[in-house]
Structure 1
């Protein structure tokens, strides 16, 4: 049985519906999965219950009431979200559904989801590379960063750093904490006490 292109969600549509909540991996709701696979949320939940061996704990989770409230407020209206239990499917869970949902579009949808996930991972890698390049560029643009980086790598302490530069103590300390927060140095110069919000 052929599947019309109009029945298959686009890669962009799949990506746009991916959600993030504090403490949760990126996911789609059971409503999204039902929409993608051309079935109902009830059917999606039913297949999850019937096939526990295909859906380990890292493939899905049930949203708490406070998480559903966030979705209602920021992502969807109450008619779509706040009725009964709602399931979140991780990337792996979204793919696993294609093996248990016997809909005419299941195979084609799973291919689209794979393409969407690959594109999302590639975009994340690209963004990370850009961020690292920007941080490296910032170091070369700020001489104070170069001083701190070199002295930390050489094992010199903060007092030696201060004596050898023309920067004030507060300015050196502020720059060192900025670098630590951005991951530009693995630790503060020796003799500089970690602050409350510094990385351990």
Structure 2
């Protein structure tokens, strides 16, 4: 399953703080043209509310392109910003496309979304544990540093000389 998840995971992006996969990447996985995928979606647009599907703004698309998520230059590139499908949007696609390949790919994509969400949650937990340890040790080091500062402040008592002493002769 991991072999199947990795190529899909590399196609998931996070504009607007959401896990999404772009229309061209889904079309590639489904082995259909992006145009055909988008036409099927537009024919059934009532199934895709804004939290299932949204079109990237020019700024979002430019930001993704600058991160090497570019369109196929061999065909002249895109004329419009791509559509971004959330996890729910991908789930809805299987009903719209209604093919065996779409069903198989949807299952793989859904597993990838779940896998990435779990991985992110595990990392949040790990980050919280590390931060707690840092805070704990910071407090302990503060105690040590305070003790050292107290030792430095403490006046040293004069040492009692050892050995012969000279007495004042009268």
Give the TM-score of the pair, scaled to structure 1.
Answer: 0.62
| Cross-structure match for 1:20 | 14
RMSD, aligned CA: 2.5
Which one of 60, 65, 69 corresponds to residue 72 of structure 1? Answer: 65
> 4+ residue runs of structure 1 moved beyond 6 angstroms?
144-147
Q: Return 5+ residue gaps in structure 2 as ranges.
A: 148-170
What is the CA-CA distance between 1:146 and the residue it aligns to? 8.4
Matching of residue 143 in structure 1 with residue 136 in structure 2: no
| Cross-structure match for 1:157 | none
Q: Which string of whole-angstrom CA distances, capped at 9 and with x for unpartnered residues, describes residues 71-116 of structure 1?
A: 2221233436543242111111112111111333111111111211
Q: Which has the larger radius of gyration?
A: 2
Which one of 42, 49, 66 corresponds to residue 49 of structure 1? Answer: 42
Equivalent pair of 1:98/1:107 in contact (CA under 8 Å): yes
What is the CA-CA distance between 1:121 and the residue it aligns to? 1.4
| Alpha-carbon distance change, 130 to 146 in structure 1, aligned in 2, over 3 angstroms | farther
Distance in 2, matches of 1:43 and 1:24, equals 28
What is the CA-CA distance between 1:123 and the residue it aligns to? 0.4
| Cross-structure match for 1:176 | none
Distance in 2, matches of 1:93 and 1:44, equals 13
| Alpha-carbon distance change, 145 to 65 in structure 1, aligned in 2, over 3 angstroms | farther
Equivalent pair of 1:37/1:105 in contact (CA under 8 Å): yes
- Of 59-68 and 29-38, more deviation after overlay is shown by 59-68
| Alpha-carbon distance change, 38 to 78 in structure 1, aligned in 2, over 3 angstroms | closer
What is the CA-CA distance between 1:125 and the residue it aligns to? 1.4
| Cross-structure match for 1:62 | 55
Give the TM-score of the pair, scaled to structure 2.
Answer: 0.72
Equivalent pair of 2:94/2:106 in contact (CA under 8 Å): yes
Q: Return 5+ residue gaps in structure 1 as ranges.
A: 1-8, 148-164, 167-200
Matching of residue 30 in structure 1 with residue 23 in structure 2: yes
Q: Which has the higher contact order (CA 8 A, sep 6+)?
A: 2
